[in-house]
Chain A
Amino acid sequence: MANLQDIRDRISSVENTKQVTSAMKMVSAAKLRRAQEAIFQTRPYSFRMSEVISHIKKHVDPSLHPLFQERKEKNAVLLVIVTADRGLAGAFNTTILKLAEKTISERFARQKESENLFLICVGKKGHEHFQKQGYQLIGDFRGAFDRISFETAYDVTELAREGYNDNRWDEVHVIYNEFKNTIAQNRIVEQLFPIPAELYLTPVMESEMTHVAEYKEGESVDYLFEPDAETILDVLAPRYVRHKLWRIFLESNASEQGARMVAMDSATTNAEEMLGNLRLTYNRARQDAITNELIEITSGADALG
């Protein structure tokens, strides 16, 4: 039986931990609310833009814009991996890093072998993880989620586009968490460049997109462009990607806060359970000690009498 002082120390240390975890839970609940608002505001614009882009893509000559052209040789690949800056969010970072590694070994092993695999890691956790393993990292986006801003989306887009135009890589994919609800995230691997022929629908997009502007299959649509297709694509294509990345960052941020809230909630519950057990053990030990003392007193009295 552990001694009373030891148990008392453990109780107070678990109590401290519980205070920390429940405070963190409150903080992430507040952050989650804000992140959720932001993502719900951004989604309609981004989804609608994806739809317009996919319509254009189907009906114009892909040679009109470099971002639309599929390259025959895919020698080099850039992956944009979106993780969190901070830990203590359950398996949030681990699962997305595992997915990234799985994707690399399943789809891009050849590029990795020939040292033509590049990574942009948004968020400190991913950056440090892949840096340790000696991957070729482009840019430094640690701390991007401390103050999440559209500038980051802009910078990442420009980096990816520059390299794509210079033929440093032929394809760009992005790996991230999509916010489903507080307790669940969808993990997604999606092609960014060249803009894919078929619009990639994430689970949330599928359930939320209202296909108002549907056209019949096989119908050929001749779009009028005002002023002209090239000018529009030049502006629209990069803007589409920027807003897509911006949405992705917001998705990831909301997912992270949700994951942290859930993790901290279960940590608090665990701490409570542990405290219950410790108090029980403590009381039992105290009772034992009292009983022992009484026995000593009575047997002492017996011996005297």
Chain B
Amino acid sequence: MSNLIVEIVSPAGKVFTGEATGIQAPGVSGSFEVLRNHAPMIAAFEVGTLRVTIPSGESIKFATSGGFLEVLNNTVSVLAESAELLSEIDLDRARKSEERAKTILAQAGETLERESAVAALERARNRVRAAMGHVGS
């Protein structure tokens, strides 16, 4: 049986390409998983963890801050705003950037500034959460 072909790209470059048996994403209305022979779909996803299951059964996890994915003929193209391999996230650094995001948010005045600060904090929290989950498991 052939597998899904998954490609994850972010503005910072190609993050992952290869075969997979499934990919799980934090959908806007709940987490979902794409398996082989899924109907064509375009879906948005939010901040959270992307999990790609490769044919050997292992799963590779990425911390993402949202984006879109397209499913077409067993090919999944993931357009993530950011995607970082969990095993590469430095927990200390992630914690520090979370702290930094908090202080920026505390000082942020304008709405626009505030919005981007909230988004930054959410991203930082997600990285910490995702990385901690990885360390624990």
Contacts and interface: CB of A to CB of B under 8 A. Distances in A.
Interface of A: 40-42, 44-45, 48-49, 51-52, 55-56, 212-215, 221-227, 229, 231-232, 235-236, 243, 246
Nearest to A235: B44
B72 A45 contact: no
A213 B41 contact: no
Interface string B27-71: 111001000000111111000000000000000000000001010
A226 B72 contact: no
Interface in B83-131: none
A226 B12 contact: no
12 contacts: A40-B13, A42-B11, A44-B9, A45-B9, A52-B70, A213-B72, A213-B73, A222-B40, A224-B40, A224-B43, A232-B68, A246-B11
B10 interface: yes
Contact of B29 (A224, A227, A246): A227
B50 to A, nearest CB: 15
B77 interface: yes
Contacts of B20: none
A52 B40 CA distance: 12
Interface size class of B (residues with CB under 8 A): 20 to 34
B44 A227 contact: yes
B79 A49 contact: yes
Contact of B77 (A41, A48, A243, A246): A48
Contacts of B32: 226
A240 to B, nearest CB: 9
Contacts, number: 76
Given A44-B13, A213-B77, A224 B39 contact: yes
Interface centre among A213, A227, A246 (most CB of B within 10 A): A213
A194 to B, nearest CB: 19
Contact of B70 (A45, A213, A243): A213
A226 B9 contact: no
Contacts of A222: 39-40
A226 B10 contact: no
Given A48-B9, A52-B70, A226-B32, A212 B77 contact: yes
Given A52-B77, A213-B70, A213-B72, A224 B42 contact: yes
A48 B42 CA distance: 13
Nearest to B39: A224
Given A221-B72, A243-B11, 18 more contacts: A41-B11, A41-B12, A45-B11, A55-B72, A212-B75, A213-B77, A221-B40, A222-B39, A223-B41, A225-B42, A225-B43, A226-B41, A226-B42, A226-B43, A227-B28, A227-B29, A232-B44, A246-B11
B13 A45 contact: yes
Nearest to B41: A224
Q: Which 9 A-B pairs have the closest CB atoms?
A: A226-B43, A41-B13, A213-B75, A224-B41, A213-B72, A45-B9, A44-B14, A44-B9, A52-B70
